[in-house]
Amino acid sequence: MPNPSPYLLVRLHGAAILAAIALACLPAAAQASSSQFTMIQDDATFVRATNGKDPEAALAEAKALGVDVIRVFLTWHSVSPNQNKRHAPAGFDVGDPDSPGYAWSQYDALVDRARRYDIKLLLTLAPPIPYWASEQPSRCPHRIGGYSRLTLSCMWKPSTKLFAQFVKATVRRYGSRATGPYGGQVALWSLWNEPNLEHYLWPQLQRTRYGVVDVAAARYRKLWIAGQKAIARYDPSARNKVLFGETAAISSPIDTLYAALCLDESGRPFAGRLRALQGCTGAKRLPIAGLALHPYNNFAVGSVFTRSFTKDSLPAAYLGRAHKLLDRAARYGRVAPGRPIYITEFGFQSSPPDPFGDALSPARHAAAINEGERLFWGDPRIKSFSQYELFDVSDPDDFNTGLRFADGEPKPALRAFEMPLVVSKLKADTVEVWGMVRPADGRTRLAVKIVGGASGGATVRWPTTNERGYYRFTLRRRGAAKLRYRAEWTNDGGETLMSRVASVGRPIAYRE
């Protein structure tokens, strides 16, 4: 398939993206699942340009693929002066974005590019932190279990007060009320990353005579409250656009989220001495825009059917657990009813380049990301689908979930992301055909055809997508479940894009 032109129109423009996000942030109205928007993250490419790729060309490709929002780690350590010292420079004002020492240039450049391509941003204000931002700078850097590559980072007891000042500076530079040239591209904010993992927030737990205190959850709640208040003050229009969570699927995310919402592991308010130790005396409702999740399977392998053997994890097949969590939190007044869910980081590893035997073949990798999107599309509470990485990284032992290999060659996943297609068996002669034309601008018409066999090349349906590019229909035809299918769409420039060839699989739904 020829590469699409980088100047194809995407299906949503900036104002429409913001409108869709605003609707998603409203209380539980019946927003259709088909309204979810598309997000991608690849900081090494879009922000740091450390992998030899051209960030301008990469952003053009993201636009051509139909991406609405780019998620970005704006790391506290990377923009701060004296990052590896125990004291900030004399006179440095953490809350002033123009204070000498701040280094915003790589994010300024991203904002400029995003504006040119009319793509919005989700800014995740993330660790690591400058050493002086810890309540105990003498503990920085600190060794974190077996994560040898992270021993020079600091995640130790970030100061809530200083974090609020850092958020203030960031919002004053990039928020909608920013006085400089870089405001207005942020559609959503998020505060911290994967607080349930020790290599992003440390320490995690403290054992007391009254029980185990989740000190990481307590600190995360304080950081989130302080940061959200700074956003609300300096960019009032964004006060209800701050996501909560960003938890990894492993390492007890449900327990961490409950504790951060001042609920115990069973989802009930903390009682007795633990309530005070957890910092939950007088707990109030948090004005979260939604719950942000990273529902990878363990090591980002398997499929949407992969079983989980723990009850406090949140991989893709078990996101029904997040519904229960949000509903219980609403019942006890911790969040507003009907809060949505945002998938902000997701993908599967492929082999090559991943050396482990359980990574997916390139063809299976392409199918898996389509099946993941079909799963999330079927949940009306989910408002975004996310692809982690455009390019693989050079280290095969690292996360390699990209749509392209590290050398830039496309994987089958690139086509699958551009034109998702999943066909599910309902009966021997009945299948559900679901898919999307991601680069389309509004409603469009496409062809779904049979591949191979005596009927190869025959068109079975000419579906019309909705405004977001999604379509779904039921096909009744003798032997429908034994056939293979492909979708084809011709853009305004006369270029025909084709989906992967999809065999029929079992229906996709959450596990109990």
Q: What is the pTM of this model?
A: 0.93
Q: How far apart are CA 17 and CA 15, in angstroms?
A: 5
Tell me the CB-side half-sphere exposure of residue 356, using CA atoms within 13 A.
Answer: 16
Length of the chain: 512
Q: Do the strands 291-294 and 186-191 form a parallel or antiparallel pair, or are they unpaired?
A: unpaired
CA proximity to 39, closest of 15, 12, 3, 2? 12
DSSP 407-470: TSPBPHHHHHHHS-EEEEEEETTEEEEEEE-TT--SS-B-EEEEESSTTTT-EEE--B--TTSE
> Using CA atoms, how far apart are residues 305 and 372, in angstroms rounded to an integer?
10
d(CA 449, CA 487): 6
Written as one string, the DSSP assignment of 258-296 is HHHTTB-TTSSB--HHHHHHTT-TT------S-EEEE-P
> What is the C-alpha separation between 85 and 311, in angstroms, rounded?
41
Contacts of 252 (CB under 8 A, 6+ apart): 196, 310, 312, 313
Q: State how far the Cα of 70 lies from the Cα of 120, in Å rounded to an integer.
A: 6
Pull the structure tokens for residue 132: 């002086």
Name the architecture of domain 15-418: Alpha-Beta Barrel (3.20)
**What pLDDT score does 144 carry?**
62
Phi, psi (5° rounding) for residue 166? Answer: -65, -45
CATH of 424-505 given 2.30.40, 2.60.40, 3.40.50, 2.30.30? 2.60.40
Average pLDDT per block of 10 residues along the chain, 512 residues long: 32 50 48 76 95 95 97 98 97 98 98 97 97 96 60 88 98 96 97 95 94 97 98 98 98 98 97 96 97 96 95 97 98 98 98 89 98 97 98 91 97 98 97 97 97 94 96 97 98 96 97 86
Domain ranges of the chain: 15-418, 424-505
In the chain the first and final C-alpha atoms are separated, in Å, by 39
Residues 256 and 247 sit within 8 Å (Cβ to Cβ) = yes
Tokens, residue 77 = 């350590």
Please give the pLDDT value at position 153.
Answer: 85
Could you tell me the two tokens for 162? 């200083």
Distance (Å, rounded) from C-alpha 108 to C-alpha 170? 11
Asked if 102 and 157 count as a contact pair (C-beta separation under 8 A), the reply is no
Tell me which residue of 464, 507, 506, 458 sits closest to 485, measured CA to CA. Answer: 458
Task: Identify whether the C-beta of residue 242 lies closer than 8 Å to the C-beta of residue 190.
Answer: yes
